[in-house]
Structure formats: C-alpha cells, structure tokens
C-alpha cells in the first residue's frame, strides 16, 4: 500500500530541500538508493536553493516559517562547514 504524501505547504518544501541536502551531505538515507553518499557540490546547491527561497520570500512568511527556514539554513551550513573543514570552532 502506498503511503499518503505529506500536506503541501511552505514547511514541506523547506524540509524536502533540507532532506536532499542531508542526503548529499551523507547524513541521511536516500529513499530510492539506500545509504547516502557524500556529494558536497549537490549539498551546497541544495543549501543555496533554500537560501534563495529565504531571500525571495522575505516579508511574506509567517513567524513560524521564518524561524523554520532560518534554523534549517543554520543547521545545514554548520554541517557543510564541518565537512569541509571550515567550521572554525574548537574548544
């Protein structure tokens, strides 16, 4: 039996793009192809798409939508920086 698709809204779009980025970062499993494989170029591309979406929707989002896209970008950028050695952190 086929599972129902998620409701179509802004959060679903952002989370779908985020999931793609996580797959390309090697941190989530690809539903069709199994274990994820690292592809930093596609990961950056997915993050850039989310950033473009944030820029183009600025002023038209609810507070909850703004927080979602902002937190997704912070998380994905940090993961990408960790993988590329640009984390800058260290204790």
pLDDT digit string, tens, across residues 30-67: 767 666 688 999 999 999 999 999 999 999 999 999 99
Taking the domains of the chain in order of start, what are their residue ranges?
Answer: 10-84
User: According to the model, what pLDDT value does residue 90 have?
Assistant: 46
User: According to the model, what pLDDT value does residue 3 have?
Assistant: 83
Apex CA 18: angle with CA 66 and CA 33, to 5°?
165
pLDDT digit string, tens, across residues 26-40: 988 776 766 668 899
């Amino acid at each position: 039996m086929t599972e129902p698709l998620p409701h179509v809204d802004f959060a679903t779009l952002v989370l779908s793009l985020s999931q793609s980025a996580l797959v390309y970062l090697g941190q989530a499993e690809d539903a069709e192809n199994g274990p994820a494989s690292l592809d930093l170029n596609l990961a950056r591309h997915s993050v850039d798409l989310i950033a473009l979406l944030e820029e183009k929707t600025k002023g038209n989002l609810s507070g909850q939508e703004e927080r979602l896209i902002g937190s997704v970008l912070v998380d994905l950028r940090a993961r990408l920086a960790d993988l590329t050695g640009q984390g800058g952190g260290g204790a």
